[in-house]
Amino acid sequence: MIERTLFSADHEAFRDSFRRFMDKEIAPHHDAWEEQGYVDRAVWDKAGENGFLCMTLPEAYGGSDADKLYSVVQMEELSRAGFTGIGYGLHSEIVAPYILHYGTEAQKQKYLPKLASGEMVGAIAMSEPAAGSDLQGVKTTAMLQADGTYLINGSKTFITNGWHADLVILVAKTDPAAGAKGTSLFLIERGMPGFEKGKRLKKLGLKAQDTSELFFDNVKVSADQLLGGTAMQGKGFICLMEQLPWERLQIAIGGIAAAQAAIDWTVQYVKDRKVFGQAVGNYQNTRYTLAELQTEVQVARVFVDKCSELLLQDKLDTATASMAKYWCTDLQCKVMDECVQLHGGYGYMWEYPITRAYADARVQRIYGGTNEIMKEVISRSMGLSGR
């Protein structure tokens, strides 16, 4: 295998530390969390106490001023272990960066330390019942009132961390007639009158992840809750587009880590499992299938590592990140399917990690923008358009 050169000794030491944290605080409980449909709130508190949340934030806001590779390590480890109920990545590397990059100083001081400590859990509310990948189709409105406040109405669905969330970055239209230029982002706190959380959604996979519906019924907020203040009104869509490369790369990182874990589990299984008097791994079909899968995952990992290098240099563009997202998640699903097949009937039993990984993988091709949208983004970067 190609030796990875992305990480330093410090990153690998952090990997060991986070694995110990997972072994102690997550592994003993994850099965129970899948049954109840959400992780215990305490796992957020403990992550905050150990400095595992919002690590890339400046120290002034409660972070460690770490580079993003520490977050990459964390994402890889959670995916490798199949701990898909843990929403640290979205909280630390999607929600917090929006506030860091676009928030006012008052908003940064108010929210970032609480996100870093685990006192607040963060979510971002984009998707709606009639608007998923098409963010320009958002129907939730935040209309400016005569007294300078905003009145918010609408609903969101498929919101990761939604049930636990204390702070939600809400995508809403402040000028519905202006299309993308009428989109703004708002900071909505738990307990605000008119803000309600719906049921936790029952899903094919990611069963420990508290995915929820959110409802906004005449939620009245001051201009202080507009991310970035009034100067950022109507600029929400630009913010979303600027953050998408990193968000999509995160999906690719998790996908490849999960695919490699599936191969590793399957290699061990086919060595141990006997059929017709010999190990399943002795059959040519098994060996060739796993050889092909490992080759493809190795190629994908080299590409994703290069994308991570570009990210650190602020050179990762939207099209390249879209390539990583679509290619790696398509591959992830292919690997899971082949590995389930090699497990035979046991690959359909929930107590086997490959079964859970198979169910967890499917949504990777949908969220963060469907893979069909990724191909649209890539083709447009090539100067091609269907219009």
109: domain CATH number is 1.10.540.10
Residue 115 shares a structural domain with residue 134? no
CB 78 within 8 A of CB 13: no
User: What was the pLDDT predicted at 34?
Assistant: 96
- Answer yes or no: is 101 within a domain: yes
Are 220 and 150 spatial neighbours (Cβ–Cβ below 8 Å)?
Answer: yes
- Residues 16, 34, single domain; the answer is yes
Convert the pLDDT of each residue in 215-248 to its tens digit. Answer: 999 999 999 999 999 999 999 999 999 999 999 9
Q: How far apart are CA 139 and CA 157, in angstroms?
A: 12
CA proximity to 250, closest of 206, 185, 311, 296: 311
Give the pLDDT confidence score for residue 113 in this predicted structure. Answer: 98
* pLDDT, average across residues 366-380: 95
> Could you report the per-residue pLDDT of 257-268, keeping only the tens digit for each?
999 999 999 999
Q: Which domain holds residue 253?
A: 238-382
* pLDDT tens-digit readout, 7-48: 999 999 999 999 999 999 999 999 999 999 999 999 999 999
Q: What is the pLDDT of residues 253-298, one digit of tens each?
A: 999 999 999 999 999 999 999 999 999 999 999 999 999 999 999 9
The residues, any chain, with a CB within 8 Å of residue 286's CB and separated by 6 or more, are 270, 280, 342
Whether 164 has a pLDDT exceeding 90, the answer reads: yes
Dig out the tokens for 293 from the structure: 């899968």
pLDDT at 131: 74
The pLDDT value given to residue 137: 79
3 assigned to some structural domain: no
Give me the sign of the Cα torsion angle 42, 44, 46, 49.
negative
Residues 25, 19: Cα–Cα separation, whole Å: 10
CATH of the domain at 288: 1.20.140.10
Rounded to whole angstroms, what are the CA distances from 166 to 14, 30, 122, 257? 28, 22, 6, 29
Give pTM, 2 decimals.
Answer: 0.96
Total number of domains constituting the chain: 3
What is the pLDDT at residue 40? 97
Question: Are 252 and 368 in the same domain?
Answer: yes
Q: Is the pLDDT of residue 179 over 90?
A: no
Mean pLDDT of 162-190: 96
User: Based on the domain organization, do 250 and 337 belong to the same domain?
Assistant: yes
CATH assignment of the domain containing 165? 2.40.110.10
- Known active-site residue 119: no
- Residue 77 sits in the same domain as residue 116: yes
If you count them, how many residues does the chain have? 387
Tell me: do 370 and 258 sit in the same domain. Answer: yes
Q: Identify the pLDDT of residue 135.
A: 73
Catalytic residue among 34, 93, 128, 247: 247
Q: Are residues 208 and 190 in the same domain?
A: yes
Same domain, 213 and 247: no
pLDDT band at 133 (very low <50, low <70, confident <90, very high): low
Distance CA 57, CA 373 (A): 30
**CA 315/CA 304 separation, integer angstroms:** 14
pLDDT, averaged across the chain: 96
How would you classify residue 212: left for phi > 0, otherwise alpha for psi between -120 and 50, otherwise beta?
A: beta
